[in-house]
């Protein structure tokens, strides 16, 4: 991100200003020194202005922001409530998120029409080499299991995922919901000939690159109508060459399903 970029975060409640950088600075100074008078000096605002800001915040805050300390070395002071401390933590998190969100603007390969796709580039990172974006096209339940069919972008055949019913409820899965699929490279099975005993998650793919790592080979493939990239690891000595047509199979139970 350019060094001269500045993103100022403002939060409103009841259509009134709740916090902005100036008020957050004031709260942080109170947390640091335990005195509104000293906090005002540190934040470079007048004592009256500090009180006005605090009064305006408290008037619309769902919970109190300040509490008085009784006694102590200097005869008492002002401290932040737990709610105010959490507000500061949340504000810091939102600032970090804003900065990272703006940073993805520089990468034109990242589409901005999907909040799940965009946030996946600056949220938790996964060791799973394969990550696919799609929408839920079918949900079915059997005993304690939930079978989910995901329509990947540019792929006619859905990809099936098997999770527990409790996981489906926790993820609040519904038809049409956007989800991210994560599949580790060892979970992608390769076949030179179409296996007869597989009915789902079987895709024709083209070998695009092979990296020999000694006992294993890392195979990069494109599959489906959209030529989605996919990574697999091959431990057998079966010969596979560039541009070979192979079949890939993904076990429905070996797919990690994530969503917002």
Domain contains 162: no
Look at residue 175 and tell me whether its pLDDT is greater than 90.
Answer: yes
* Domain count within the chain: 2
How far is the C-alpha of 35 from the C-alpha of 20, rounded, in Å? 20
CATH number at residue 193: 2.40.50.140
Q: CA angle, corner 21, sides to 112 and 116, nearest 5? A: 20
Dihedrals φ, ψ of 214, to 5°?
Answer: 90, -100
In the prediction, which pLDDT does 212 show?
86
Q: Which of 105-109, 202-206, 254-258 has the lowest mean pLDDT?
A: 105-109
The pLDDT-based confidence of 245 (bands split at 50, 70, 90) is very high
Question: Which one is predicted more confidently, 53 or 224?
Answer: 53
Look at residue 190 and tell me whether its pLDDT is greater than 80.
Answer: yes
Percent of the residues in the chain that have a pLDDT greater than 70, as a whole number? 90
The pLDDT-based confidence of 68 (bands split at 50, 70, 90) is confident
Out of 59, 88, 104, a domain closes at 104
In the prediction, which pLDDT does 208 show?
96
Out of 70, 104, 138, a domain closes at 104
Model confidence pLDDT, tens digit, residues 7-59: 788 999 989 999 999 999 999 999 999 999 999 999 999 999 999 999 999 99
Token pair for residue 253? 């139970």
In the prediction, which pLDDT does 101 show?
74
Average pLDDT over the chain reads 87
The pLDDT-based confidence of 222 (bands split at 50, 70, 90) is very high
**Domain of residue 30, residue span:** 11-104
Domain contains 201: yes
Across 182-206, average pLDDT: 92
Domain contains 28: yes
Domain contains 212: yes
Domain contains 226: yes
Token pair for residue 193? 């000939």
Domain contains 27: yes
Out of 104, 128, 152, a domain closes at 104
In the prediction, which pLDDT does 143 show?
86
Look at residue 72 and tell me whether its pLDDT is greater than 80.
Answer: no
Domain contains 164: no
Model confidence pLDDT, tens digit, residues 84-102: 999 999 998 888 777 777 7
111-127 exposure pattern, b = at least 16 Cβ within 10 A, e = fewer: eeeeebbbbbebeeeee
The pLDDT-based confidence of 74 (bands split at 50, 70, 90) is very low
CATH number at residue 72: 1.10.10.10
Domain contains 245: yes
pTM of the model: 0.63
In the prediction, which pLDDT does 2 show?
47
């Amino acid at each position: 991100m350019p060094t001269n970029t500045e993103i100022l975060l403002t939060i409103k409640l009841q259509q009134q200003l709740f916090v902005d950088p100036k008020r957050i600075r004031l709260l942080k100074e109170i947390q640091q020194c335990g005195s509104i008078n000293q906090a005002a000096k540190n934040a470079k605002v007048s004592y009256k202005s500090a009180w006005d800001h605090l009064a305006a915040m408290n008037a619309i805050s769902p919970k109190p922001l300040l509490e008085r300390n009784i006694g102590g070395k200097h005869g008492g002071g002002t401290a932040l409530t737990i709610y105010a401390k959490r507000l500061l933590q949340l504000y810091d998190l939102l600032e970090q998120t804003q900065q990272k969100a703006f940073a993805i603007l520089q990468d034109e390969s990242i589409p901005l029409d999907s909040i799940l796709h965009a946030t996946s580039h600056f949220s938790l990172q996964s060791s799973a080499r394969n990550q696919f974006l799609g929408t839920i096209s079918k949900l079915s339940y059997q005993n304690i299991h939930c079978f989910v069919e995901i329509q990947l972008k540019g792929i006619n055949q859905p990809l099936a995922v098997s999770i527990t019913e409790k996981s489906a409820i926790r993820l609040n899965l519904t038809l049409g919901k956007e989800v991210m699929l994560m599949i580790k490279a060892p979970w992608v099975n390769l076949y030179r000939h179409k296996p007869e005993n597989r009915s789902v998650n079987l895709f024709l793919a083209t070998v695009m690159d092979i990296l020999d790592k000694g006992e294993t080979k890392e195979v990069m493939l494109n599959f489906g109508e959209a030529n989605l990239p996919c990574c697999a690891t091959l431990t057998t000595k079966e010969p596979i060459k560039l541009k070979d047509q192979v079949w890939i199979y993904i076990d429905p139970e070996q797919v990690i399903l994530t969503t917002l």
